[in-house]
Homo-oligomer: A and B are copies of this chain.
Amino acid sequence: MKEKEGSLGLFQQFKFVRVLHHDTRAKSLYLLGTIQSQDAIAIIEKTAFNVQDDLLMNNLVASSIEDIRMLDKNDVYHWYMAVMKEDLEKLPGAKVSLIWPATQTHIDKYGKQRHRMITETPEMYRSVLAPYIETMKGDRIQWVYNILSHKVEADRIVYENTDPVNGFILLPNLKWDRTTMDALYLIAIVHRRDVASIRDLSKKHIPWLKSVQREIVQAVTTTYPLTETQLRIYVHYLPSYYHFHIHVTNVEHDAGDSTGIGKAIMLTDVISRLEEMSDEHSGFAKSTLSFFLGENSELWKNGYSKIYKD
């Protein structure tokens, strides 16, 4: 293996410890290891095919498959194993993400674990989640502030409304290869810092949420060859970090659990539900909300499991 730029040596130093999770459907491998005696997580994920490349499609066999061997045949069915043609520039075979130094929270996040469905009342939110969210602010989301202040990833910004209250930055999710339109995945991170999750949203936020949704649709449909009905715009509850952000994917993209109930809520549903609420001061702080939680998470182990006595 060769690496072409400085600081790449980091990945070369990765010492394998154990498999955290192997997603055989998504062809993704989550590995725990160490680099310089500190925990590191390496995520290796095979890339999706590049179906935008007409040349590739028209010369499929010659241009994308390096070598092929028949395994078996039965009636009209024929099976082969193949070696793909890969190219660091145009046809990389895998994306690799490295998290180093990794905290126990990172390790818990990627480690395979069983799940629980929590039905969180306002009281449960106040006693368990709200105090936890306080510990997840500040340094834990410094990387978000780095993006918002253009310290990092500024060249990747797709659209920005710089207003400190109503504005947001729209940029590609690092999970997206930025080419495969069917897998389009963007994140809108709001500039305001007073909304940690949908629990902080109330009826007064409706005009703001609607304008953000409108601007996202406008920006995405003018930047990419997609229409409004081809976009899935949603938020997470629980989110993985507590600074309000919105996910935007192509409806065709299968983002797995990330778009499942108990994790995702359509932004239009967030808005409609707020609109339906009775008095002017009501909001999600008073709602009962359902979500999944991994059994290894602190929130389950030291929080909700005690309430459920489970």
**Which 8 A-B pairs have CB atoms at the shortest separation, nearest pair first?**
A25-B254, A278-B278, A81-B92, A84-B93, A24-B183, A116-B229, A80-B96, A24-B48
Contacts of A101 on B, CB cut-off 8 Å?
76
Pairwise interchain contact A289-B269, C-beta atoms closer than 8 A: yes
Contacts of A87 on B, CB cut-off 8 Å?
83
- Asked if A114 lies at the interface with its beta carbon under 8 angstroms from chain B, I say yes
Pairwise interchain contact A229-B118, C-beta atoms closer than 8 A: yes
Contacts of A282 on B, CB cut-off 8 Å?
276
Pairwise interchain contact B78-A10, C-beta atoms closer than 8 A: yes
| Chain B proximity of A221: nearest CB distance (Å) | 11
Measured in the bound complex, the distance between the Cα atoms of B268 and A289 in whole Å is: 8
- Of A39-47, A124-132, A158-166, A191-199, the one touching chain B: A39-47
The count of identical subunits is 2
- Asked if A209 lies at the interface with its beta carbon under 8 angstroms from chain B, I say no
How big is chain A's contact interface, by range? Answer: 35 or more
| Chain B proximity of A279: nearest CB distance (Å) | 8
Known: A76-B99, A77-B143. 4 other contacts (CB 8 A): A3-B69, A3-B70, A8-B70, A86-B86
Partner of A82, one of B10, B94, B174, B310: B94
Most chain B CB within 10 A, of A58, A147, A182, is at A182
| Chain B proximity of A185: nearest CB distance (Å) | 10
Q: Give A133-153 interface residues, CB cut-off 8 Å to B.
A: 142-143, 146-147, 152-153
Q: List 11 A-B contacts (CB under 8 A).
A: A1-B62, A1-B68, A2-B67, A8-B70, A11-B61, A19-B57, A25-B254, A42-B60, A74-B147, A117-B229, A227-B310
